[in-house]
Structure 1
Amino acid sequence: MNNVPIKNREKFLYALIGMFKIEDFYRAINEYFNFIQTFERLEFYDIVNFLKNAMTGIFHSKEDWTNVKKHSSNSLIEHEMREINRRTDIGCRWSNAGVYKFIKLLEINRHATHNFNQYFKQNRKPIVNLVQTHLYS
């Protein structure tokens, strides 16, 4: 919406949100085409191209559009996925295997804390208790 005046952006966004709430798949597609034509008349061709490219992902299939199952997540999962995205997209560059192990670690820690040591054995040397050691000079 870079070229759209700020005062007009809200009504375009509400129109787009309204399309996603239409239950009839073909009516929603028709409204989407009308939405694209609005931007063509305004000569916002970058928005037109974006909407046309996004169409196949939005209107994947009628079955997907009419799916009544609700999917949700909690903020903990969203936080974990955001952290994984942050580490894989910039900075650490985790491998796929590293991401898998990270998720496994989090899920086992959350759901199988009683078996945590069975899944993740310590490979380090045991920590020496400094109280029991004697320093010789």
Structure 2
Amino acid sequence: MCSRPIRSPCVAWPQEILYDELRRFVGVLMPRADGVPLGAFAFHAELLKKQFPSWTRYDLTRLCLNLSASVHTLHRYGVVLGDLHPGNVLVSPDGTVCWVDADSFQIEDYPCSVGTERFWAPEL
């Protein structure tokens, strides 16, 4: 992933591999992403009003369009979201989104190895 950079505000994409002083892998550097997890408000009107009290149906429509555009952006880079889970995307007050769970991405011949059973295709 670090060798195929994606510079887009819609995804917290790994930027650099991090090693300790003995050159052992310890993690990756990723941009900071702020927002509220989509699952924390999207499925209950009361939670939506608590998180974004001024939002209207217009804002919800804008959020849906931003989600769709973000998936399209990832697809243009050859990335398939292997786990479309509402906890994997952060939403800002202006309705912008950022996918944050990069280990659920499928890239080239590297399939997604994680997922949420209730979101799996029936044949799985």
TM-score by length of 1: 0.25
Higher helix share: 1
Q: Could you say which structure has the higher strand fraction? A: 2
Give the greater-gyration-radius structure (CA): 1
Query: Which fold has the larger relative contact order, with Cα–Cα distance below 8 Å and residues 6 or more apart in sequence?
Result: 2
